[in-house]
Structure 1
Amino acid sequence: MKTRLPVARTLKALDRALAHLRAEGESVALVPTMGALHAGHLTLVRQARRKAERVVVSVFVNPTQFAPTEDFSSYPRRLAADVAALAEAGVDLVWAPDTAVMYPDGFATRVSPEGPALAGLEDAFRPHFFGGVATVVAKLFGQVRPDIAVFGQKDYQQLKVVTRLAADLDLRVRIVGVPTVREPDGLALSSRNAYLSAEERARAPALHRVLADCAARISAGRPLKAVMESGRKALARDGFAVDYLEARHAETLAPVRSVKDGPIRLLVAAKLGTTRLIDNLAV
């Protein structure tokens, strides 16, 4: 009979479960999530299982990374379904604290990241976001104390912020980035895809097509500035309201002028209706 997947909801329960997992000195990988799991998350879990002997998945919808105008209250929450999927995927432990556990009364300390967190991409449109991410990730690393933490490359700026955070604060965790998982038509998997109407969903793959076209043209030697401007216009024709479409240094996220400044990563954020989508692609 298969053992039920343990779900820790308090720090004491987490510590007991982690002590059991580490009893034989085995390595631990953490996959931080906000739940509403899809195939992309399960790909992260599979990668974590390849990298470590034990896998912990956190499920926590972090209020500090949502602005008052964003979708915190409506963000999908389906813990029972998530736990069932994680049990099937062979996860060893789910860490699912509530907000009062993560941010108890009197909580007064926050992490304020710089470097890639101030690249003028997501931070220009969601200035609260990376402070919330950095704070909750630092807490998760302190709570779980993983050897490895696995993040998706779809949230590319976030990946770079977390990588810098772990290095700068000597958190003794290796950050692993996993390539974006996509639908057959190229749309990056995201929990927010569920917000798209049928008509918007049909148009959404244009985001990846434009990225791929821009990357191909840059690789072929076309001027970078002209390619980016053409890409923005293409997205607008496809019905997107573009927040940014930028070519940046793949490691620092600093602006680049040509392929000589590379390696280059293309990053985009745009809205279809009320749904904001992000994606990125290497050149």
Structure 2
Amino acid sequence: MQTIEQISNLRGEINLWRQQGLKIAFVPTMGNLHKGHIALVEKAKLAADKVVASIFVNPMQFGANEDIGNYPRTMAADQEKLLTAGCDLLFTPTPAIIYPKGLDQQSYVEVPNVSQHYCGESRPGHFRGVTTVVCKLFNLVQPDIACFGLKDYQQVQVIQTMVEDLSMPIEIIAVETVREASGLALSSRNNYLNKEEKNIAPALSQNLKWLAQAIRGNDDFVGLAQKAASNINMAGMKTDYIHICHARTLQPANKDDKKLVILAAAHCGKARLIDNLQVTLA
């Protein structure tokens, strides 16, 4: 596996692969890799001839009250995991390489509607930072395929919408959430949980499962979501939001919708955890 920092070197290697007619898959990350990230690489490996991963802690997607300096950085361990998973190239640019003019002078990409609620409302500017950096990385890597984890369900829909709206010739593959035995979705932010909080945190996924069953016999979606939020709070967490939505548009679900997704976020100690569950009604 090659590790490349400079754009010119990245493009040179990509051009060589293109000349050979090879299919390229891309897995963008912020590092501190876990089994969920590795599942993306493994999926990419099955779908393409060459796999490119990136590690870039993107300052544009962090809010004013979010400490980017404390985001865990584990480059050596990440490289070892990617090598073992069969990654061919790791791109590790610095902020100066990605944003040479600085954040204030950087052009940006913004996706309306699907990005505006839920995490978009709780973290203003977050998705603009995500779409801007992903768009730039797509332009640099020019992949045929890009893999994203469904743990960040809203993010997948935002990226998919951006690709469709801007006519990018990239297939987005959404990969199922990888979970601990307790049901807790794997996340780099789980590192912030202490032992007690680690025991509390599975209440988020447990209440998503409860809600998924409850809505099969009750179309009071708002009332049921409020009950689930109360249950999460009683477990020792603090609910940010929990909503039952149309699975593609992410608009509030109505009783005639059949393909739904439950989106949720909650604070557990210092960690803000997100999770979701897709539901298909008969």
Question: What is the TM-score when the length of structure 1 is the normalising length?
Answer: 0.95
2: CA distance between counterparts of 1:145 and 1:222? 44
Give the equivalent residue in structure 1 for 2:158.
Answer: 161
Residue 46 (structure 1) aligned to one of 42, 46, 61: 42
Give the equivalent residue in structure 1 for 2:15.
Answer: 19
Partner AA of 1:108 in structure 2? Q
Q: CA deviation at 1:263?
A: 1.1
Residue 273 (structure 1) aligned to one of 255, 262, 269: 269
Mapped contact 1:30–1:149 kept (Cα < 8 A) = yes
Give the equivalent residue in structure 2 for 1:176.
Answer: 173
Give the equivalent residue in structure 2 for 1:148.
Answer: 145
2: CA distance between counterparts of 1:186 and 1:160? 23
Give the secondary structure class of the aligned counterpart of 2:198. Answer: helix
Gaps of 5+ in 2: none
* Runs (4+) off by over 6 Å: none
Kindly report which structure 2 residues correspond to 1:166-205, keeping only aligned pairs within 5 A, or say none: 166-205=163-202
Give the secondary structure class of the aligned counterpart of 1:278. Answer: strand
Give the secondary structure class of the aligned counterpart of 1:111. Answer: coil
Q: How many residues align?
A: 277
For the pair 1:114 / 2:112, whether they are aligned, the reply is yes
* Percentage identity across paired residues of the two chains: 42
Mapped contact 2:212–2:277 kept (Cα < 8 A) = yes
RMSD: 1.1
Q: CA deviation at 1:31?
A: 0.4
Give the equivalent residue in structure 1 for 2:243.
Answer: 246
Residue 65 (structure 1) aligned to one of 55, 61, 83: 61
Q: CA deviation at 1:222?
A: 5.3
Question: What is the TM-score when the length of structure 2 is the normalising length?
Answer: 0.96
Gaps of 5+ in 1: none
1: CA distance between counterparts of 2:277 and 2:195? 25
Q: CA deviation at 1:14?
A: 0.3
1:72-112 Cα offsets, whole Å, 9 max, x none, are 11101111211111111111100110111000026431112
Give the secondary structure class of the aligned counterpart of 2:114. Answer: helix
1:36-73 Cα offsets, whole Å, 9 max, x none, are 00000000011111111110001100000001211311
